[in-house]
Structure formats: structure tokens, C-alpha cells
Amino acid sequence: MKEKIYLSSPHMSDEGYEQQYVKEAFDTNWIAPLGPNVTNFEKEICEKVGIGHAAALVSGTAAIHMALRACGVGEGDIVLCQSLTFSATANPIIYEKAIPVFIDSDLETWNMSPKYLEEALIKYPNAKAVIVVHLYGLSADMDKIVELCKKYNVTLIEDAAESLGTTYKGKYTGTFGDYGVYSFNGNKIITTSGGGMLVSNNQERIEKVRFWSTQSRDKARHYQHSELGFNYRMSNVVAGVGRGQLKVLDKRVEKKQYIYNYYKENLKDNKDIEFMPINDWNNPNCWLTSILLKGKVRPIDIIEALEKENIESRPIWKPMHIQPYFSKYDYIGSNISEYIFENGLCIPSDTKLTESQLDEIIKIIRGLW
């Protein structure tokens, strides 16, 4: 069988930066739980995106969970959450026994609709938090969303798990809200194999998150715990991988954008294919190039045609409000997210793709017409 082409797989640096930091951790016996790589990874992320403080954690999901706790979300509280996303965005709301209300997207951004967010804020004036997602590296319309959250005095959490390196009007996603979340899962634009980061300009809250994430161990000679704790801190070895990956983030963004533009240029004659929207105020990382299909060819047709050649593609995220587990919760919108899901597709966006592989993928897609 021919070599598999992945949707988006880990891509270590050619320079070996990751091995250097990991070797340093081994040489100094800083294996776990914390150490210089963790401290420096947090510092370097802050410097890169332009924010004050960060807590390195085991996953983006853990970072969302800690953001919810940091802003005081608890049992019975309302959290307004983008519907078109992966379940990791919504699951932590349930961890805290809070109540999610799902908000539709708009076609202009594929992300949370400011119109429907305002409808939700009017309906739920005591909502405790809003979780907006920057889907596939496309930024949401942050000016409008930030303005609404300030108007209704609600905490804004940005799930920027897919959008590290994306800017909105020159400012990095993850830095507009009260809290920002990044993921370093294996398929993300840079990876630590698994890991996440919570960022904020609120130093006191980030310090609190670090405390909670190390089992809420009080400052005492014996093991004493006055609050519920979590085992969420990133290890020093994993953080070393992250530090090395961060050095090539700009290269990865450049390649992802190249892939998007290559597909768009070579499929521009097909009027049945519409590419994910890139607005003039948005410089996306193009984590996954995604398309909408308008004609007789359906997403499953492309998925199966690529599968026959050992090439991976994937449907758009199924919206939370039509997921079996979450379907009982309120939803505010007009089914835009369902339309994107039913007609959308993520095509191979691996940063190791060669031009000949891209040409092969394009040939297969064209062949369906």
C-alpha cells in the first residue's frame, strides 16, 4: 500500500530544536513534573502572542476547564458556547455542572455569530461566560464579540486551540478575551504530543490555575489541601518539545497558508467548491483547509475517493446542539452551523505535503466532476 497522506500530523523541526530541549531535561534530570522548560515555554508563548501570563497544562481541554473555574463558573451557571466546534470546547462546562447554551455561526466567519450571541445574552442576562472558537484557524469577528461581552458584563474565553499564529487586525487570537486557550495536540499546527496553555493578563488568576493544577497543594511541610485540586500541569519533557516547536511556528503557518492558496488556485474553476472564508481583517494560520460543496458531489464522495488512495480527509465538526449528549440544551441560531457541517469537508493540510502530493489530491477531487 502506498504511503499514507495525513490530514495534519506532527512535524518536528529540521533543526532538531525539540531534541535539544528534551536532551537538556534528561541531562539535568528535570523529567517531571515541572522545571525550566515549563517556565520558559510559558514565558515564550507570552512573548510570542503578546500577553502577560500563561499556565502550561496537559491539554487544551484542561485549559478550558481551568478558565471556567478561574472565572467562577459553577453548578447551574449559564455558559454561552459556540456550537460549531469539537466537543472538548463544551465538555468542561459539564465538568463544572454548569449549563451550556449553544450559539450558531455565521457564513462570514464560520464562527460565533454576534447577532445570535446578543440574542442569547438578552435571553440569559446572567450568563457567566462566553466561549468563542476560532475554527480551523479562522478568527471570529472579535470586535463585535468583545463589545457584546463588555456590554453585558460577561467573561470571554477564547478557544484558540486551532488558531495559534492567527491574527485578527494584527493581534493574535487568544489575547482578546479574559482568557485564551491553545492546544498542542498531535494534529495541531505545533505539537507537544499532547498539551495545552491557558493565557491571560490576569496574573492572580493564572497563579491560581497553576495552584489548582498541581493538586491544590497548600504551602505546608506536610501534604495539605484546602481546595479541590487537579493533576493538570505539563511535564518538563513535554514542554521541551513545545519550546522547540514554537521556534518553527511561523514556518508552519506559512506552509499551511501555502497549502490553502494552492488548493484555491487549482480548484478555482469549480463553481461547486467554496473555500472557507478569509476576511481582510483576518490573517489565519489555515490549520485545516476546509471547503463547502454546493452541487451533486457530496463530502462523503471526496472522503471515500481519497480513502481509496490512502489519503485522509475529514468532515467538518458536527455542531454540539445536534450531538446526542448535548441535544437537550438550548440553541440559538438559524442552522448555519448545520449547513456548514452537512456540506463541509477538511482536506489534507499536513505541513509535510509536497507539491506532487497536492497535485494528486487535486486530481482526485477534480475527477469526481
Q: How many domains does the chain have?
A: 2
What gap in Å lies between CA 89 and CA 130, rounded to an integer? 11
Residue where a domain stops, chosen among 195, 228, 246 = 246
The string of pLDDT tens digits covering residues 196-227 is: 999 999 999 999 999 999 999 988 899 999 99
**How many CB atoms neighbour CB 259 within 10 A?**
22
Structural domain includes residue 5? no
Sheet hosting strand 196-200, strand order edge to edge: 53-57, 196-200, 179-183, 155-159, 129-133, 78-82, 99-103, 331-332
Strand partners, 283: 167
Instruction: For the chain, give the mean pLDDT.
Output: 97
What gap in Å lies between CA 82 and CA 326, rounded to an integer? 12
Half-sphere exposure of residue 360: CA atoms within 13 angstroms, side-chain side: 18
What gap in Å lies between CA 245 and CA 299, rounded to an integer? 32
Structural domain includes residue 2? no
Reported pTM: 0.97
Considering the domain architecture, whether residues 350 and 302 belong to the same structural domain is answered as: yes
The string of pLDDT tens digits covering residues 276-291 is: 999 999 999 999 999 9
Considering the domain architecture, whether residues 288 and 255 belong to the same structural domain is answered as: yes
How large is the average pLDDT for residues 14-23?
Answer: 96
Considering the domain architecture, whether residues 226 and 271 belong to the same structural domain is answered as: no
Query: What's the pLDDT score for residue 195?
Result: 97
Residue where a domain stops, chosen among 195, 221, 246 = 246
Query: What's the pLDDT score for residue 34?
Result: 86
Query: What's the pLDDT score for residue 33?
Result: 74
Considering the domain architecture, whether residues 181 and 203 belong to the same structural domain is answered as: yes
Considering the domain architecture, whether residues 254 and 240 belong to the same structural domain is answered as: no
Query: What's the pLDDT score for residue 109?
Result: 98
Considering the domain architecture, whether residues 183 and 48 belong to the same structural domain is answered as: yes
For residue 42, pLDDT over 90 is answered with: yes
Considering the domain architecture, whether residues 64 and 93 belong to the same structural domain is answered as: yes
Domain hosting residue 165, numbered range: 17-246
Considering the domain architecture, whether residues 192 and 54 belong to the same structural domain is answered as: yes
Considering the domain architecture, whether residues 242 and 253 belong to the same structural domain is answered as: no
Distance of CA 164 to the CA centre of its chain: 8
Residue where a domain stops, chosen among 193, 213, 246 = 246
Structural domain includes residue 296? yes
For residue 100, which of 122, 68, 71, 70 has the smallest C-alpha distance?
68
Considering the domain architecture, whether residues 187 and 224 belong to the same structural domain is answered as: yes
Percent of the chain beyond pLDDT 90? 96
210-247 b/e (C-beta count within 10 Å ≥ 16 → b): bbbbeeeeeeeeeeeeeeeebebbbbbbbbbbbbbbbb
Considering the domain architecture, whether residues 233 and 284 belong to the same structural domain is answered as: no
CATH number at residue 289: 3.90.1150.10
Considering the domain architecture, whether residues 147 and 193 belong to the same structural domain is answered as: yes
Structural domain includes residue 6? no
Structural domain includes residue 34? yes
Q: Please, are residues 182 and 199 in contact by the beta-carbon 8 Å criterion?
A: yes
